[in-house]
Amino acid sequence: MNSPALDGLTVIDASTLFAGPMAAMHLGDLGARVIKVEHPRRPDPARGHGPEKDGHNIWWKTLGRNKETLQLDLSGADGAAVFRRLAAAADVVIENFRPDTLERWGLGYESLSASNRGLVLARVTGFGQVGPYRRRPGFGTLAEAMSGFAAATGEPDGPPTLPPFGLADGIASLATAFAVMTALHQRAATGRGQVVDLAIVEPIMAMLGPQISRWDLLGTAQPRTGNRSGNNAPRNTYRTSDGHWVAVSTSSQSIAERVLTLVGRPELIAERWFATGGSRAEHADELDEAVGGWIAQRTRDEVLESFDRAEAAVAPIYSPADIVADPQFAALGTVQHVQDSDFGPMAMQGRLFRLSEGDAPIRHTGREPGADTGSVLHELGYSPDEVAALRAAGVVGGAVDSSTVDALPGPSALDGRRNRSA
């Protein structure tokens, strides 16, 4: 069996909430060793977001998967010393403190890279490390507002609309993972790491298409169109006779023609305005009436089967119950069942793609804060007495598990990785 694609890569996740931790999760999904660093008295707020069962957060079980957990106060000299030793043995550090915070603690890149010139430091903030907004709180909601996303989302006569989930953070997590791997690829050629400066507002802005170029050249902005598109029609959600909803897309001309033929309105295809997506969008009312009226007279199964036979583009609008029952997702292995210490077997979405070589299983779900503090510190060369002293001083936290420490072979897995690019 081949090793996981990122086997041998060590990532320190010193970030909180979603963009940084999710980027670390993506890297861990492909086999990287991820060590999650949290404050002993203020763990990652993500542990309290979303639904719970029996007092255990469900979201964290996914977001924290494949991560060892270490509780460490970075703000004091002793904690900073531990973190420098940890970073000296790592490939990547991901953090999302406000700019200048690491520097104030003596943990800026110059300090961290002094003993590990190959270190990649990914800094994930709302607005980046420079500029007048650099120290503003950087939540994804602000990025969704300032990127242009909210202004272009919603009904034409309604307000700008925010997504009901962390869209900007999720997109930024993918961009962060991509940036980290880019920096690591460059390190392979130069032997040097670098700083990645990622502003959460920019990746979601990039997903909105040529809005900046459009404004520069035409002086116009994309209007709010609800579920419709200004680029093609019919494109909307439609209700079936049995109360379900489906979505139809006609991004290509041939698909648009198949849809109108299917619903019994071939005469519309002959109209001059039907020849392009943009001109079809100007007749969205007429096209929606034709397609929506046809769909409203049929059940969801009938609609899906008819579109499939016509090779037209349609999709059911799914709930989570639909997702877990769908045979396509089953074939892809989208839903994974992972053993959890609190819930037993639990379902969650797996990694984002499949590799013909180098795939990795989900090794475990999100752990309690500080579950691996003792074992990680032992790997770094701290003696049991030193660990106990750090605990007593409040520098580190987590459950004391002497049996785990005693069973370890010695400080080799992390300690031996230091200065690999020196």
> Are residues 177 and 81 part of one domain?
yes
pTM across the whole model: 0.93
pLDDT mean over 1-15: 93
> Are residues 147 and 88 part of one domain?
yes
> Are residues 244 and 201 part of one domain?
no
Confidence (pLDDT) at 404: 44
Choose, from 13, 44, 91, 169, the residue flagged as catalytic.
Answer: 169
pLDDT reading at 1 higher than 80: no
> Are residues 196 and 108 part of one domain?
yes
Query: Whole-number mean pLDDT of the chain?
Result: 94
368 or 137, greater pLDDT: 368
> Are residues 115 and 29 part of one domain?
yes
pLDDT mean over 159-171: 97
Kindly state whether residue 227 falls inside one of the protein's structural domains: no
> Are residues 269 and 142 part of one domain?
no
Helix axis angle, 253-262 relative to 284-296, nearest 10°? 50
Q: Measure the CA–CA gap between 325 and 209, rounded to whole angstroms.
A: 34
> Are residues 306 and 197 part of one domain?
no
Task: Read off the pLDDT of residues 215-273 as tens digits, 9 standing for 90 and up.
Answer: 999 999 999 999 999 999 999 999 999 999 999 999 999 999 999 999 999 999 999 99
Instruction: Report residue 274's pLDDT band, with 50, 70 and 90 as the boundaries.
Output: very high
Kindly state whether residue 334 falls inside one of the protein's structural domains: no
> Are residues 393 and 307 part of one domain?
no
411 or 279, greater pLDDT: 279
Kindly state whether residue 262 falls inside one of the protein's structural domains: yes
Instruction: Report residue 3's pLDDT band, with 50, 70 and 90 as the boundaries.
Output: very high
**Residue 169 annotated among the catalytic residues of the structure:** yes
> Are residues 398 and 319 part of one domain?
no
Instruction: Report residue 400's pLDDT band, with 50, 70 and 90 as the boundaries.
Output: low
Confidence (pLDDT) at 44: 96
CATH number of the domain within which 280 lies: 3.30.1540.10
pLDDT mean over 62-89: 98
Instruction: Report residue 22's pLDDT band, with 50, 70 and 90 as the boundaries.
Output: very high
- Domains identified in the chain, total number: 2
pLDDT mean over 354-358: 94
pLDDT reading at 146 higher than 60: yes
Kindly state whether residue 139 falls inside one of the protein's structural domains: yes
CATH number of the domain within which 380 lies: 3.40.50.10540
Kindly state whether residue 271 falls inside one of the protein's structural domains: yes
Instruction: Report residue 138's pLDDT band, with 50, 70 and 90 as the boundaries.
Output: confident
pLDDT mean over 133-145: 94
pLDDT above 70 covers a percentage of the chain that reads: 94
Confidence (pLDDT) at 401: 55
> Are residues 383 and 300 part of one domain?
no
Of 324, 351, 385, the residue that ends a domain is: 324
From 212, 182, 213, select the one nearest 197 (Cα to Cα): 182
Q: Are 136 and 126 in contact (CB under 8 A)?
A: yes
Domain that holds residue 306: 236-324
Task: Read off the pLDDT of residues 403-422 as tens digits, 9 standing for 90 and up.
Answer: 444 333 344 457 545 444 44
DSSP lists the bridge partners of residue 247 as 237, 315
Of 297, 324, 351, the residue that ends a domain is: 324
Confidence (pLDDT) at 399: 75
Instruction: Report residue 2's pLDDT band, with 50, 70 and 90 as the boundaries.
Output: confident
> Are residues 158 and 293 part of one domain?
no
pLDDT mean over 208-214: 96
pLDDT mean over 176-185: 98
Q: What is the 3-state secondary structure (H, E, C) of the chain?
A: CCCCCCCCCEEEEECCCCHHHHHHHHHHHCCCEEEEEECCCCCCHHHHCCCEECCEEHHHHHHCCCEEEEEECCCCHHHHHHHHHHHHCCCEEEECCCCCHHHHCCCCHHHHHHHCCCCEEEEEECCCCCCCCCCCCCCHHHHHHHCCCHHHCCCCCCCCCCCCCCHHHHHHHHHHHHHHHHHHHHHHHHCCCCEEEEECHHHHHHCCCCHHHHHHHHCCCCCCCCCCCCCCCCCEEEECCCCCEEEECCCCHHHHHHHHHHCCCHHHHHCHHHHCHHHHHCCHHHHHHHHHHHHHCCCHHHHHHHHHHHCCCEEECCCHHHHHHCHHHHHHCCEEEEEECCCEEEEEECCCCCCCCCCCCCCCCCCCCCCCHHHHHHHCCCCHHHHHHHHHCCCEECCCCHHHHHHCCCCCCCHHHCCCCC
Kindly state whether residue 170 falls inside one of the protein's structural domains: yes
Of 269, 299, 324, the residue that ends a domain is: 324
Kindly state whether residue 157 falls inside one of the protein's structural domains: yes
Instruction: Report residue 286's pLDDT band, with 50, 70 and 90 as the boundaries.
Output: very high
Confidence (pLDDT) at 413: 53
pLDDT above 90 covers a percentage of the chain that reads: 93
Confidence (pLDDT) at 418: 44
> Are residues 371 and 292 part of one domain?
no
Kindly state whether residue 218 falls inside one of the protein's structural domains: no
